[in-house]
Amino acid sequence: MATDIRGIAFDSINLGDELPPFTIAENQETINSARLVLDDEEPPPRNIHTDPEFAKSGMFAGTVNAGVTTMAYIAQMLEQWFPASAFYNNGRLLYKAIEPFRPGDTVTFTGSVTAKREEGGGKIVECEIKGTNQQGRLMGVAEATLVLSEPQ
């Protein structure tokens, strides 16, 4: 699935370039496996991600994935074109959820290059991304700032 990123060069990127889309299906098993255990409490604390009965009474009326998981999916999408190092040295990723990402949803992330510039010795590319589910509903939007270094 990954695109060859070995030779991506700042000069070859153009405003409006479409990023490779990334599609991911979510189910309760993938939501459960993404759970970050911060303590060794047994049983684990009840939460809206991994406890369907508890989540029924919550604001989403069912389980949903964690926003950080969705951000990881967007990072995977961006890494099809940009090296992971582009997030370092002042890169950033901002995500705003519009709808909850539920078990059974299949979301496709698409995006494009919205700006590029050289600043303070860095080669900066900005992208906008949106996620749409299988029903065509907007699930969330993201902005990414990536700092490229030229291949050696």
3-state secondary structure of 148: strand
Task: State pLDDT tens for residues 72-90.
Answer: 999 999 999 898 888 887 8
Residue 24 and residue 104: Cα distance in Å, rounded? 10
Can you give the pTM of this predicted structure?
0.83
Residue environment code for 115-124, b if the CB has 16+ CB neighbours within 10 A, otherwise e = ebeeeeebbb
At 55 the pLDDT is 67
- Asked whether residue 115 carries a pLDDT value surpassing 50, the answer given is yes
Is the Cα dihedral 47, 141, 122, 6 positive or negative? positive
- CB–CB of 75/88 below 8 Å? no
Task: State pLDDT tens for residues 131-145.
Answer: 999 999 999 999 999
Please name the fold of domain 10-26+65-148: Thiol Ester Dehydrase; Chain A (3.10.129)
